[in-house]
Chains A and B, each alone.
Chain A
Amino acid sequence: MTKDEDPKDREKNSKNEDERRRGLRRREFVKLVGGTGVAATAQVLAGQKLASATTTTVPEERVPVAAGEVMGPGPVAMTLRINGEAKKLTIEPRVTLLDALRNHLDLTGAKKVCDRGTCGACTIIVNGKPTYSCSVLAIEVADRAGKPGADIRTIEGIAPEGKLHPLSASFVENDAQQCGFCTPGFVMSCKAYLDTHQNPTVDDVKQALGGNLCRCGTYVGVRNAVVQAAVSLKGGRA
């Protein structure tokens, strides 16, 4: 976290962030490469054969690469489970999930802004958790070894085309967007949060959305939009 000057908040936020942002992030990846549990991931990237793969530090969502399996550096066929559909594509193992969505599947709701896990414009929901898709490799969440990959939800999947998800409608109503480039990321962070927190206060919203940045300054609208959407979504559930 770099945006928050209060050290206490920063500590709290970074903890929250760590809990929230699961899936393979680039920083985590770098840690893996530098540590003892490097094997599986490094092999994928370098395309080199590996003698023994340890999987102890690989997060549970990911399927380890079997010993001896070689992938890349050229394009690899893979299947991603996006918005309930299996999407087949052939891309290099180094392609991020964000670039796979945007460049190869024309799902451009998730935006590329910082491209290194800071701004949240690329936020999607992976296995129920808000995730910076710029900091996950597509191959890490693809079908592997006969097992289905992660459940990937993009903003295009939260409402059919031409219909507005109540959260999106609340962003419109509260003018929680100007240029709108950060907005889909905000909507997805909000959605993931409201899926598990039904009665947020404004202070809760400030914490929950600390991982998304806006340049136009729409935060006041966002604060109001999330609180209002929480009420209308709860009404829908009841």
Chain B
Amino acid sequence: MADYHWPPTDKCNLIGRRISRLDGPGKSSGRIKYSYDVNRPNMLHGKLVFSPYAHAKVVSIDTSDAEKMPGVKAVDIMTEPGKEVFWVGHEVAAVAAETEEQARDAARAVKVHYEKLPHLVSDAAPDKAGDHTKQLAEQTDGNPDQMLQQAEVVSEGEYGSPVITHCCLEAHGQVAEWEGDNLTLYASTQNVSGIPGEVARAKIVDAAEKVRVLTPVMGGGFGSKFGVDTWGLACARLAKKAGRPVKMMLERDQELMAAGSRPSMYAKVKVGAMKDGTLVGWQSESWGTGGPDAQGGAPNLPYVVRIPDRRVKHTAVLTNIGPARAWRAPNHPQMCAITMPALEDLAAKLSMDPVDLLQKNIQMTGQLAKTYSAELDKASELMDWKKKWHPRGDKTPGPIKKGLGVSIHTWGGAGHPSNCNCVIQPDGSVSVSLGSQDLGTGTRTVIGIITAETMGLPLEAVKVNIGDSKYPADGASGGSTTVGGVSSSTRRAATAALNQLMEKVAPSLGVKPEELEAFDGDIRVKGNPNKAISWKQACAKLGTTPITGVGQRQRGNDDLISSGVGGAQMAEVSVDTETGNVHVDKLVAVQDCGLIIDLKTAESQVYGACIMGITYSLFEHKIMDEQTGRCLNADLEFYKLAGIGDFGDIVVHMMTGQGFDERGVIGLGEPPVVSPGAAISNAVANAIGVRVPTIPLTPDKVLAALEQKGAVA
């Protein structure tokens, strides 16, 4: 049995170092081709026709005028007459024409007759939503009523976060090209290996093997790009009808209206503690909307700090805001933005430092209690918390009030099933192939690092092949499952290939294969530089036949990887009490994720998550108009993303070394994006003395909160 275990980190040349991403030069030179950049010979451009109504029945579609328009080559009906559309932006038909401009003209010329139906886009009042609600889990553990009665201090409040969107910079879409019965999709997707089966199920092809998906790079997904989508299927049909390749990418308004959003979540919370800070009871009634079909599910409150006696109830509001899709750490940022502010409000009532409150109850976090405790200590040190923290309400004179906030979070991040082939050629070249994809997380680089480390070679010696469905099947990149999956399968494949090479080489060195190691470009007797042959010489012994090592990560236990991480964040804000403007001066993120393969891209994930977190904490809100049911900010002027100057310093600290490295690889994409909303909201409450109940912490809400009793003058 081959030994696949990770080498000790102090023996690693590449694993755990700061290594630049392999596709970095292609990206920063503008040369690498995204789906949106693919221009095939003779290619047409596709555009969607979408519903202007939030809820309607399609009565008839007349495409005759559109078909006669200049340059139009194909038309496709996506929603048959008689069927309903459920949001503004719901796709109804598509056209393909010679130029993008002609396609846009033709889409406008498609005449759709709708019968308008009643809609609901507001998630503000579940009690008034009538049929548009669905009761999800109601659960009672222990005896919350009794415990809340016994509690010496009880805090009540309302908290929440609204619907936001994914806002991928590369819009959803693809280029579809047929060659006979075979379809190639250059798709911007998080699921290269899964798309062919989906296309076959939709009967676009008669067998999945006839579909090839190519995604060498993609411009952001964040959970919204798992499926081929109706527009992917329509694009394939248009290309078939026209007999020419078709590119169809969503326009920005469609991207924001129809390509996915994060469900809202609000809650009325009652939480109690003894005077020493021991948490004793929790009760919450939560609600939120994930579009027309209650996507998102019920939250598990309270988050992370599992108060044993609790009663929770959740109501889903069914709305016509557009479809919900998994958004980086589904449900966690929302649960966090309810739980941590509720605990911070309680801490304020107890006149307690909220970090002390968390530490006091750290055992309620379960298995990761020690990790959280250490992470809170580290974050406190990096924030200089003890020195800077003050009780609620900054008493400093002047309009600018400063405050600190804290939050902790968790995520699973176990690796998904993954398959990998690693090939060593007689000329010494090494390639590694997986049907995975790199969303910008650094997946490609991680695969290269593990292969090179295993072979004792420099990173440049390894060719990484991903982003093609012809490679061995790999899971979709969601839920921080990719790095664990590909790390495990790659390590196994590379080790298997190397072991075969060692069997070929061993006789010439007069030892058994298991006495050999790959080190610094040589195959040598373990620890003996004098009994070695170079990698090239070793591979030359293969004659004419390359070696293939196969690696598989299956479901279940796997000692190369693990799951379950913590993470603590602290925010320092300045609030301008005259304008209501909130500025994040500093955000400290302390994060564990087991064994880190590439420290540089790992840190980038955390920096990025913090910035994305600042953005949803201060700016993001998919604003719906109740009368028309339309999204009012389906553009980048009014759907605001933070710019480079919109925040201060971000300090990232990765927990590594003993206690972390030996756990193996754990996913990282989701966890650090969970806490910013709560940490920043808590910091604002600490600054101005009162809670702004919901994020984003926009100036209007801050000014409204400042009118409340208890606010700083």
Contacts and interface: CB of A to CB of B under 8 A. Distances in A.
Interface of A: 2-7, 9, 91-92, 94-95, 99, 102-103, 106, 108-116, 118-119, 121, 154-156, 159, 161, 164-165, 167-169, 171-173, 175-184, 187, 205-207, 209-210, 212-223
Interface in B176-219: 217-219
Contacts of B647: 219
A154 B37 CA distance: 15
Given A95-B101, A111-B34, A180-B219, 6 more contacts: A108-B30, A119-B169, A175-B24, A178-B608, A181-B220, A217-B615
Contact of A177 (B28, B36, B101, B167): B28
B168 interface: yes
Contacts of B28: 164, 167-169, 171-172, 176-177, 180, 183-184, 187
A108 B638 CA distance: 26
Interface stretch (B122-130, B530-538, B599-607): B599-607
Contact of A112 (B36, B217, B439, B607): B36
6 contacts: A2-B636, A113-B169, A113-B252, A171-B28, A176-B28, A216-B440
A115 B252 contact: yes
Contacts of B611: 214, 217-220
B612 A216 contact: yes
A216 B166 CA distance: 11
B608 A218 contact: yes
A176 B637 CA distance: 24
A175 B646 contact: no
Interface string B150-187: 00000000000000000111110000000000000000
Contacts of A4: 643, 645-646
Interface string B571-609: 000001001011100000000000000001101110111
Contact of A113 (B20, B33, B636): B636
A1 to B, nearest CB: 8
Kindly name the residue among A7, A116, A217 whose own CB sees the greatest number of chain B CB atoms within 10 A. A217
A134 to B, nearest CB: 10
B25 interface: yes
A3 B646 contact: yes
Contacts of B219: 111, 179-181
Given A103-B39, A180-B219, A215 B439 contact: no
B607 A217 contact: yes
B167 A3 contact: no
B70 to A, nearest CB: 9
Contacts of B646: 3-5
8 pairs of A and B residues whose beta carbons are closest in the complex: A109-B30, A217-B611, A180-B27, A179-B440, A181-B219, A206-B645, A217-B608, A178-B440
A115 B171 CA distance: 11
Interface of B: 20-21, 23-34, 36-37, 39, 45, 99-101, 167-171, 217-220, 222, 249, 251-252, 439-442, 576, 579, 581-583, 600-601, 603-605, 607-612, 615, 618-619, 635-638, 640-647, 650, 699
A109 B34 CA distance: 10
A121 B579 CA distance: 31
Contact of A6 (B29, B167, B440, B581): B581
Given A164-B29, A173-B20, A215-B167, A3 B612 contact: no
Contacts of B604: 175, 178, 218, 221
Given A2-B638, A2-B640, A215-B167, A108 B441 contact: no
A222 B647 CA distance: 14
Nearest to A115: B252
A108 B33 contact: yes
Nearest to B26: A180
Contacts of A121: 169
Contact of B169 (A109, A159, A179): A179
Of A92, A179, A181, the most chain B CB neighbours within 10 A belong to A179
Most buried by B among A103, A164, A172: A172
B253 to A, nearest CB: 9
A220 B637 CA distance: 22
A175 B576 CA distance: 33
Given A179-B169, A219-B611, A6 B637 contact: no
B252 A219 contact: no
A165 to B, nearest CB: 7
Given A5-B699, A180-B217, A180-B219, A156 B100 contact: no
A119 B636 contact: yes
A24 B441 CA distance: 37
A214 B612 CA distance: 9
A2 B638 CA distance: 7
Contacts of A5: 579, 581-583, 618, 646, 699
B223 to A, nearest CB: 13
A154 to B, nearest CB: 7
A209 B644 contact: yes
A179 B28 CA distance: 11
A222 to B, nearest CB: 6
A91 B100 CA distance: 11
B220 A216 contact: yes
A217 B609 contact: yes
Nearest to B442: A178
A83 B638 CA distance: 34
A187 B618 contact: no
A169 B332 CA distance: 36
B139 to A, nearest CB: 35
A175 B167 contact: no
A9 B579 CA distance: 13
